[in-house]
Structure 1
Amino acid sequence: MGLRLSGKGQQSHRMVIFLAIFILMMLFFLYCSNNSNNVTYIPFHVVINHPLKTTDLKKWAGKDGYVAVYGNKSMTLRYHTCALVTSSSHVLGSRAGEEIDRTECVIRMNDAPTLGYEADVGNRTSLRVVAHSSVFRVVRRPNELLQHTDSNPVIIFWGPPNKIGKDAKGTLYRLIQRVSMAYSNLSCFSIAPGKMRKFDGLFRRETGRDRQKSHSWLSTGWFTMVIAIEICDSIKVYGMVPPNHCVRKPGSKKMPYHYYKPRGPDECLTYLQNESGRKGNHHRFITEKQVFARWAKQYNITFIHPKW
């Protein structure tokens, strides 16, 4: 009888310890959940104490990095002032359209429209930077996207050389070539394979991490910012949020990822999911913005709507 009671006592003791540990773990998770918006966010891929090497992006300029899709045109763009209009919903309500249209060069990304949004984003386009994943959306409605362009608009396509390279001769390349041939005043270029490798090297130098090993995809914003620095003496960026923007307090207003897709995914949710993703390939939006903040000090870059 005494042995049986002792066994029950040990079982009860173990149960009490288990319950105590379970309760402590639940309290810990609740605490982390309630305070996750208040901690300082450390970007996924910037190596702590990574020795920064100065990159002179102006030296990247030149026709060798860009291949004409049709004809023998050269990429010789050069401007004093540029407006880089992002696709973020933060541009909505900015009433910056007239200011943007007065800028010497207006740069847009992918299939971001102007029709219906002129008051906030303007309607002129000098240069459009398009990812290989957005080619179908762009060529599907070229008349709309080529309205109110400058007299000689330029589109730069970026992506894997085996998809949009001149030697690929695949579906995407043929679509790009068809658009370039249909609009004689339009100049279409793809980023050369050698320059694509340089973009990978730039990411590694600026973040301390290898892009492929870290399962990172460079965003269209990354390519567009580098190109803008190459060709512009002064850049105003419209709608880009600072790196710490998504460290928000509970109840903060959610913003659509794209200004032209009001029912699309939340911007910060998209940023945080991509930044923390470990499996598969992800855009490291927050890390890229930290690099942009450093570049703003090297080059004449101003961020507005929001201002930072």
Structure 2
Amino acid sequence: MSLKVVDNSVAAPTHRRNPGFPLDLDWVGRVRMNRSALERRAGTIGARRTVKKDHQLAWLLKAITLIDLTTLNADDTAGRVQRLCAKARHPVRREILAELGMADRRILPGAVCVYHSFVKTAVEALDGTGIPVAAVSTAFPHGLAPVETKLREIEMSVEDGAEEIDIVIERGMVLRGDWQALYDQVRAFRKACGDAHIKTILGTGELATQTNIAKASLVCMLAGADFIKTSTGKEKVNANLVTSLTMIRMIRWFAEETGIEIGYKPAGGIATAGDALKYMALMKEELGTKWLQPHLFRFGASSLLTDIERQLEHGLTGHYAADYRQPLV
């Protein structure tokens, strides 16, 4: 069997990074989202068309390259991070890739995401792979530390080798409609990141309305965000298709107005191959195939890879392997 998987290196070299733009409060004021319409549209994802057989296996291999392989637990240790990085180096067993005709292809996750304390550990463990390390910063997951503390945390993560920084916005700014404060803070975070790309975590489950989520997305993009991200994974409500549709449509609107393509990262609760395929279908239908690249789309996930590997083996053998055959850490 030989599958066709899109080469991840095609679009990234020509991608123009978001330079940031002045805060346009008139634009923010025009933003409105119809939740009922969003729910109807989200309900069609994965229902009208599905990928099957070899096509599904190819999509699942693509999904692996879009994962931010993550460990953000209170009991994380250097050993756990090293094991996660070992899995990142070889996310799928070699015999499975060989059977799929993909043994010579670069099938690696988009990044490994860890707390600041483990950035150096992850950088060392991934040396030579080209897999970037993403650090969660700015008082993750609540975001309620002094600004100076949060800026210094970003700077230290970058100094330790993080190439991507996942920052947390202060949800209260959104709930108060204090768009200038949100813009100024994200702008400062972007400056502290330097060459490292910045993903802004909105904590969408705590923003009350889809219109709030849409406005926060726009303000973060105007402030220079490279990605907008749903959740920390610690909220009661994390990524879902309705919220994703809101954020994706703001990305599309932003691209139409500015010519800048912003990345999207759903996080929290995405644990099955079926989930991954729905989000990929949503991206393809709303933004086009070009957005199914690691520089424009990521999954924030810790257990997704295990199920994808099980599904790949099932596609080859007709049997599901036990979870322990694809240990993550």
Say whether the fold is shared (TM-score over 0.5).
no
Structure number with higher strand proportion: 1
TM-score (norm 2): 0.32
TM-score (norm 1): 0.34
Larger Rg: 1
Structure number with higher helix proportion: 2
